[in-house]
Chain A
Amino acid sequence: MKSVKLSRRSVVAGAAAASALAGTTGASAQGAANTLRVVMHSDLRIVDPIWTTAYIVRNHGYMIYDTLFALDSKGDVQPQMVDKFTVSDDKLTYSFTLRDGLMWHDNTPVTTADVIPSIRRWGARDPLGQTVLGFVASMDAKDPKTFEIKLKEPTGLLIFALGKPSSNVPFIMPKRVAETDPNTQISEFVGSGPFVFQRDEWRPGDKAVYTKFAGYKPRSEPASGLAGGKVAKVDRVEWRVVADQQQAVNALLAGEIDIIESPSHDLLPLLKADNNIKLFNWNPLGNQYTMRFNHTTAPFNNPKIRQAALYAFNQEDFLKATIGDPEYYKVCKAMFVCGSPLETMAGMEDKLESNFAKARQLLQEAGYNREPVVLLHSTDLQVLTNLAPVAKSLLERAGFVVDMQSMDWQTVVARRVKRDPPTQGGWSAMLTSWVSADILNPVMAGFFNASGDKAAFGWPNDPEIEALRARFARAGTLAEQKQIAEAVQRRVAENPTHIHLGQWYSPGAHRSNISGWVATPAPVFWNIEKGRGA
């Protein structure tokens, strides 16, 4: 029973009520002491992290699978399942050795025969994987512990790609699972990660349960980002679905749950006011809001009109309206994220300042015919809901005609892949958010793909951007990468594929008896301890 200031009478009454109901507190029946009860940002429905890019499925992947390489807290790629690797002098042959003691959850050893099909399946789905596998001439298992990748021409992206931190993560799965057709969901959930997925207890819409894998051998280094030793310090992790944000906060305050992955920003004051609650920023790189244009229909099939929108917008309005507290957002004109190696303001200096005069002028030059911008507005995801009304307001002030259509997020998802004209169920623009770790360079960030029909929804077609992206994939040094990234950003400022609307951070909240959080682009539950009390 939670003790707050109560009158004597209500305490007595409360105690009576509690004992009358043979009450245990909100704690779950199974040894709550070493169980982490977590409210994640979403419900786990699909369980194939290669098949979908949904972040909740990626997080599920980190629970039960392991990766060959992983990004550490400094942003460097470190070996994870790999013990050591060598690169030939011509940079064409990579040889990898797996570390000792890697076991699947069914207690059979992990071998290179599992690794290669896993890379292939990932490479068939993930945009960065597709690019990198384009460079690969062959992948061969030398023995159960060593395998070799031969390239057709050098690329600086192979190791980075194998340690790709966010969706799709190249998780390693058993051979029989990895050989599933890439366009079909897997139906067996055996991994070699620190936690085991309890399929029987998985109830979509209610909870997903993981237990500690006794056979996992962590690396000896301390945990750092996604790299280092993944030591499971609790026996059981339960992801509980609490769809109502305020109820999740109430439950955390009452001690019914231990962690909320991303509580609503407007509710943070309630959590800050309570001594038993601590906030933690698990993803220091944060997230980036983005508006995507549909390049195939008027008005945004005209680069000048897209640029007019770039001039009309300012990031602060979007960030204020959705996040509110400046502690948790950052105005940042760098498309490849502020605080990352490829951070640059090139080409963006005069944009995103709500220069309505310039925007109007561009519209006039472009001969804007007052075709309505069909703006998709999702109403059910807290972090996105307020973006579209801000976009509408700014576009209208620049002289656009906007038809904002409200719908739930799933309808947005269905709508945005439709290429019909806006009047027949198509769209002109939609807003979303990316985890910064997914957009650190022009090859991995899906919205820069400007290959027309083959590009992601929005279908930009710009051979110049494509040429730059191809050069980036071949770039050997950071300096060269940086120079190409700058060129990409300059080009996008002239011929926008999408608009970046600022960075934001989403702290997690936990009860004060929880410790050992690891700062990562994806929330992970190794290294976290649950103490007594509170």
Chain B
Amino acid sequence: MTAPATTTPLADAADTPAPAKPTVWRKLFRNPAVLTGLAIVLVMVFIGLIAPLIATSDPSAINPAARNRLPMAESSMRADDGTRITVKHWMGTDTLGRDVFSRVVYGARVSIFIGVAVAAISIGVGLVVGLLAGYFRWLDSVIMRIMDGLMAIPAILLAIAVVSLSRAGLLSVIIAIVVPEVPRVVRLVRAVVLSVREEPYVEAARVSGTPTLKLLIRHVLPNTVAPLIVQGTFICASAILVEAILSFLGIGIPPEIPTWGNIMAEGRQLFRVFPHNILYPGIFLALTVLAVNMLGDGLRDTLDPKMEKRG
């Protein structure tokens, strides 16, 4: 084995992409990690979907008179029409008197959305660029040098720079997390393409004049599905965490839009006095990331046993 300059475990793994077989589904559903992970993820997604139904109040409605309440405390607020509303705060309130429970369930929406969006976009972009790089030799070196450059910039530093230099918002955070993930996906896809294009049946198809696009879609694309699904879960999990870290550094999603990350980030200064602000969103976040990781591990073991984590 002579390792070329760009070898990573991911590239090695792609030597033997496992084509999807009908038995895979049965194997998947017998894997406890996949089942547990999937179950937790589904519950979290469900919580996010029904957030408006289970939230006890508007997640961004402030009430300075009822700030920093402990879990299970009650508060009442006079509405503009003069009626009094009493709310029970299952998870207490934050420094602006916002209901933590409502923020956490709404946060499920945003946090999971960020994870899924980052995974989908990085895989989408990475797939296209990777296919191009792998298939067109003349593009390859240009694209790969740019990817090497992107990869050499530490992901968090890049994200910090992107977010804090543009207007803070959902979109900029997603872009900031996507950018460093793309080169990893590109490498993965490119490695698959490189190995597949030498296969006799692809060679044969090319010689018989199959158009390039068709070749890519019919023969190359299916081979990337398994490793990309696995990679996607890991990107999703890490995106949720990176969002929390960006919030911690003060450059995440604006607190108007609750995410588990920014609820924790806002509560972190009061960790010793009011731990509930960090505890509850923390449990949800850790559980979700854990579940997505378990799902990823399980998928990898079933779909692509030789692949190892991350690059």
Contact = CB atoms under 8 A, between A and B. Distances in A.
Q: Determine direct contact between A and B, CB below 8 Å.
A: yes
B273 interface: yes
Contact of B168 (A250, A389, A407): A407
Contacts of B97: 321
Interface in A341-389: 356, 377, 379-380, 382, 386, 389
Contacts of B65: 320
B95 interface: yes
B256 A404 contact: yes
Interface in B166-188: 167-168
A406 B67 contact: no
A33 to B, nearest CB: 29
Contacts of A408: 164, 250-251
Given A320-B64, A405-B167, A389 B96 contact: yes
21 contacts: A246-B269, A246-B271, A246-B272, A249-B272, A266-B270, A266-B274, A267-B269, A267-B270, A270-B272, A320-B65, A321-B62, A321-B95, A321-B97, A377-B254, A389-B60, A393-B62, A397-B80, A405-B167, A405-B254, A408-B164, A411-B164
A266 B68 contact: yes
Contacts of B270: 246, 266-267
Given A246-B272, A393-B62, A406 B68 contact: no
A246 B96 contact: no
B268 interface: yes
B255 interface: yes
Contacts of B167: 405, 407
B254 A406 contact: yes
Interface string B90-101: 000001110000
A411 B165 CA distance: 9
Closest 5 pairs (CB-CB, A-B):
A406-B254, A320-B64, A321-B64, A380-B250, A317-B64
Given A321-B62, A407-B167, 15 more contacts: A246-B270, A250-B272, A266-B269, A266-B270, A320-B64, A321-B95, A321-B97, A377-B254, A380-B250, A389-B60, A389-B62, A389-B256, A393-B62, A408-B164, A411-B164
Interface string A255-296: 000000000101101100000000000000000000000000
Contacts of A320: 64-65, 67
A390 interface: yes
A229 B97 CA distance: 46
B269 A406 contact: no
Contact of A356 (B80, B250, B254): B80
Interface string B262-301: 0000001111111000000000000000000000000000
A406 B97 CA distance: 19
A324 interface: yes
A386 B269 contact: no
Contact of B273 (A266, A386, A406): A266
A14 to B, nearest CB: 21
Among A250, A264, A386, max chain B CB count under 10 A is at A386
Contact of B250 (A267, A269, A379): A379
A321 B96 contact: yes
B64 A245 contact: no
Interface residues of A, number: 32
A490 B43 CA distance: 59
Contacts of A249: 272
Contact of A382 (B68, B269, B273): B269
Contact of B269 (A264, A379, A389): A264
Given A245-B269, A267-B269, A267-B270, A390 B96 contact: yes
Contacts of A316: 64
Interface of B: 60-62, 64-65, 67-68, 80, 95-97, 164, 167-168, 250-251, 254-256, 268-274
A393 B62 CA distance: 7
B268 to A, nearest CB: 7
A179 B97 CA distance: 52
A373 to B, nearest CB: 14
A267 B269 CA distance: 8
A380 B168 CA distance: 13
Contact of B256 (A266, A380, A406, A407): A406
A389 B271 CA distance: 22
A245 B265 CA distance: 13
Nearest to A269: B273
A237 B167 CA distance: 39
Contact of A379 (B61, B255, B271): B255
A406 B80 contact: no
A314 to B, nearest CB: 10
B64 A390 contact: yes
Contacts of B273: 266-267, 269-270
A461 B164 CA distance: 33
A459 to B, nearest CB: 23
Interface string A418-453: 000000000000000000000000000000000000
B267 to A, nearest CB: 10
Nearest to B65: A320
B118 to A, nearest CB: 20
Among B60, B61, B65, B256, max chain A CB count under 10 A is at B256
Nearest to B98: A389
B163 to A, nearest CB: 10
A235 B79 CA distance: 58
A389 B257 CA distance: 12
A425 to B, nearest CB: 9
A270 B269 CA distance: 12
A408 B165 CA distance: 10
Interface string A306-326: 000000000011101100100
A380 B97 CA distance: 19
Contacts of B168: 379, 405-407
A379 B31 CA distance: 44
Contacts of B251: 408
A324 B62 contact: no
A393 B80 CA distance: 12
Contacts of A270: 272-273
Contacts of A382: 269
A266 B95 CA distance: 9
Interface string A93-113: 000000000000000000000
A125 B68 CA distance: 43
Contacts of B250: 379-380, 408
Contacts of A318: 64
A377 B60 CA distance: 15
A324 B68 contact: yes
Nearest to B165: A411
Contacts of B274: 266
Contacts of B272: 246, 249-250, 267, 270
A318 B273 CA distance: 22
A359 B256 CA distance: 25
Contacts of A380: 250
A108 to B, nearest CB: 45
Interface in A485-502: none
Contacts of B80: 356, 397
